[in-house]
Amino acid sequence: MTRAMFGRGIGSAAEPIPNTDMSAELASLSMPSPVLTASGCAASGRELDQFFDITKIGAIVTKSVMLRARSGRPTPRMCETPSGMLNSIGLQGPGIDEFIEVDLAWLEARGARTVVSIAGESVDEYGKLAQKLRTAGGVDAIEVNISCPNVADRNQVFACDPEMAANVIQTVRRQSDSQTPIFAKLSPDVTDIAEIARSVVRAGVDGLTVINTALGMVIDVETMRPALAGVTGGLSGPAIRPIALRCVWQIRQALPDIPILGVGGIRTGLDALQFILAGANAVSVGTMTFNDPSAPMRVHNELALALSERGFSSVSEAISYGHRGADIFEADGAGEIEPE
C-alpha cells in the first residue's frame, strides 16, 4: 500500500496499456475486479445475474442480514431526491438461518465471491451472527453494518460511537473464523469519521467500508407529512458522492495501510477511479444499480479503460495516487476543514 502510494509515477502515461491488471485485494480477499455490489442494492445477487455474470465482478455484498426474519418498515420506503434517493427499508430479510440455507448456498454454487453483511440490535446479536457464519460455506468476508441502533443503549447508533463500534467489532472478530476478513461499515453522520475508523481498527477489523447512507428527509408537499413512513431515511446516490469521497480521503490520510472499500454514488468508471485515487482498494456500486442493472459490470469495464488510458498497468498502482506529494501521515486531515 504505502509503496503503491508513493512509489512509481504513472509509467508510460501516454500509452494506454490494453491489459490493465484488474485484480484487487481487500485484506485477504482476492478478487478479479475491484468493483463490488453494495449491501442492500443487490439482494443476494440472483436477480443481477440475469443482467451480467456476477462471478466477473469483485464480489456480491449481500443485504444486511439479522438474526431473525424481519418484516422491515411500512411503505413508503423510498423517495427520489435530486441526484439521489432516500430509503427506509428497515432491514427486511429472512434471518440468518434461511439466508445461509438459501442465499449463501446459491451464491456458493454459482461460484460468486460473497461478502456477507450482518446487522444486529445488540453486541450479542452481532456475535451470534458471526458464530452462525463461522460454520457456513461460501463466506469470503464479513461486512459489519454498524449503522444500527443499539436497543440496549438509548438506541444510539453503533457507528456513531467509537466505543460501541469497537465492541461490536471485537465481538465479531472473536466469534469469526480468523481466516475470514472482517470489514466495518462506517456512517458519514459523525463529527470525526477518522476517530471511528481508528477505533474499529484497534478493535481488530481487517478493513473499512466507507460509507453507509447519510440521514436525510423529505416532506411530501401534498400530504404535508414526511414522505417516508419511517420519517427519516438514508440518502444515497451521486448526491452524496463528494461526501463519501471525502470520508475515504480522510481515513486514508489517518490510516495509510487499512484496506478501504469505497461506496457512495458511484455511477461510472471515472467515479470509481476517483475513489481509488482517494485511497479505496475497491469500490461498491449501490444505488446506481437501480438505475442500470448492469452498472457494476459496466463500471468495471469503464474503470479498466480509464486506468489503461492513464497508463496504470494495475488497479493497485492507482490506489491512493491522488495523495501523492501530500503528507499523508499527518493526523486527522484537520488541515482540510473548510472554513466557509
Q: Is 222 exposed, middle or buried (0-12, 13-18, 19+ CB in 10 A)?
A: exposed
- Judged by beta carbon, residue 14 or residue 221, the one nearer its own copies is 221
- Judged by beta carbon, residue 227 or residue 251, the one nearer other proteins is 227
Choose the stretch contacting ligand FMN; rule: CB under 6 A; options: 8-16, 36-44, 129-137, 303-311: 36-44
Mark 286-305 with x for binding to ligand FMN (rule: CB under 6 A) and - for no binding.
xx------------------
Question: Is the preceding peptide bond at 211 cis, omega within 30 degrees of 0?
Answer: yes
Closest distance of CB 275 from its own copies, Å: 8
Of residues 90-149, those binding its own copies (CB under 8 A): 90-91, 119, 145, 147-149
Cell 493526523 -> residue = 331
| Contact status: 211 vs its own copies (CB under 8 A) | no
- Judged by beta carbon, residue 81 or residue 213, the one nearer ligand FMN is 213
> Of ligand FMN, its own copies, other proteins, none, which one does residue 208 interact with (CB within 5 to 8 Å by kind)?
none
Cell 413512513 -> residue = 229
The C-alpha cell at 263 is 461506496
Amino acid at the residue 308? S
Of residues 47-106, those binding other proteins (CB under 8 A): 47-48, 50-51, 63, 68-78, 80, 82-85, 87, 89-90, 92-93, 95
| Contact status: 40 vs ligand FMN (CB under 6 A) | yes
Choose the stretch contacting ligand FMN; rule: CB under 6 A; options: 44-52, 218-226, 285-293, 314-322: 285-293
Of residues 251-290, those binding its own copies (CB under 8 A): 265, 270, 273-274, 277-278
Q: Is 128 exposed, middle or buried (0-12, 13-18, 19+ CB in 10 A)?
A: middle
- C-alpha 119/C-alpha 28 separation (Å) is 22
Contact status, residue 262 vs residue 210, Cβ threshold 8 Å = yes
Question: Can you tell me which of 10, 17, 27, 43 binds other proteins, judged by CB under 8 A?
Answer: 43
Closest distance of CB 295 from other proteins, Å: 10
Phi, psi of 61 (to 5 degrees): -95, 115
Strand partners, 184: 144, 208
| Contact status: 30 vs other proteins (CB under 8 A) | no
Choose the stretch contacting ligand FMN; rule: CB under 6 A; options: 38-46, 50-58, 107-115, 304-312: 38-46
Told to judge if 148 belongs to the known catalytic residues of this protein, a careful annotator would answer yes
Mark 217-256 with x for binding to its own copies (rule: CB under 8 A) and - for no binding.
xxx-x--xxx---xxxxxx-xxxxxxx-xx--x-------
Closest distance of CB 37 from its own copies, Å: 15
Distance of CA 38 to the CA centre of its chain: 6
The DSSP letter of residue 239 is G
Distances (CA, A) of 97 to 101, 108, 141: 6, 15, 17
| Identified catalytic residue from 41, 148, 160, 247 | 148
Q: Mark out the alpha helices in 148-279 (DSSP H runs).
A: 162-175, 193-202, 241-254, 269-278
Greatest Cα pair distance, the chain, in angstroms, is 59
Radius of gyration of the chain (CA): 19
Question: Can you tell me which of 23, 55, 294, 308 binds other proteins, judged by CB under 8 A?
Answer: 294
Q: Of 246, 230, 216, 251, which Cα lies nearest the Cα of 83? A: 216
Q: Which residues are catalytic?
A: 148
